[in-house]
Amino acid sequence: MNTENTCILSSSFFGNIQYFSKFLQFDNLIIEQHENYSKQSFRNRCEILGANGIQNLNVPIKKNGQLKNLITDVEIDYSENWQKQHMRTLESAYKSSPFYDYYIEDLLIFFEKKHKYLFDYNNLITTEVLNLLGLKKKVMYSDDYRLHYDTIVDYRDSIHPKKRMQKTDDFFENIPYYQVFDNKFGFKPNLSMLDLIFNEGTRSLSVLQKCIC
């Protein structure tokens, strides 16, 4: 593969705006499938904006007693009905947004059907978000694990909920857009793509394009 204009990303649960901007910025996208699962990351978490401020939607993971687990082997825990809770949270946060009713039917499957593996679940979500954006991108998957890349731009650990883990991204800037609760909290940047899609709908792709420096 020609690695020119290529980046590598981690698996992400309803990735944020910075994450999806890379699908516009780069010609070639690789998802890392040979890494160990990393806790407290966007691999099983996304951030939305509700009536009480920023909220996390977390996908529970089964514990198997091992310290390290390959990301493709991580199983989702359904011992509690978190999918129903996620749907209630999304409805509470976005029911009054301009495009909630327009898009929610396309997303219901991710909160109704039970998927065994987190990695597969995230891949299906990412594919559907790209489809809703009207972005046709062929996503590839890593052949092996490499700590560093010479010619591939690596975002695997820099797009992260913890500020101390984040790295400066000279190719991305947060562009304000309409949010349901912006009159209460002001604009909250770089949330899950769910926030952008429900609030801006068909204009979401245009917002993404403006985020690329």
DSSP string covering 38-76, please? Answer: -SSSTTSEEEEEETTEEEEEE--B---S-S--BGGGPBB
Rounded to an integer, what is the distance from CA 119 to the centroid of its chain? 12
Mean pLDDT value of segment 8-15: 99
Q: Mark out the alpha helices in 65-165 (DSSP H runs).
A: 82-94, 100-107, 109-112, 118-133
pTM for the complete prediction? 0.96
Residue type, 53: G
* pLDDT above 90: percentage of residues in the chain: 93
Mean pLDDT value of segment 175-197: 98
How far is Cα 124 from Cα 122, in angstroms, rounded to an integer?
A: 5
pLDDT at 175 over 80: yes
Mean pLDDT value of segment 102-131: 98
pLDDT at 65 over 90: no
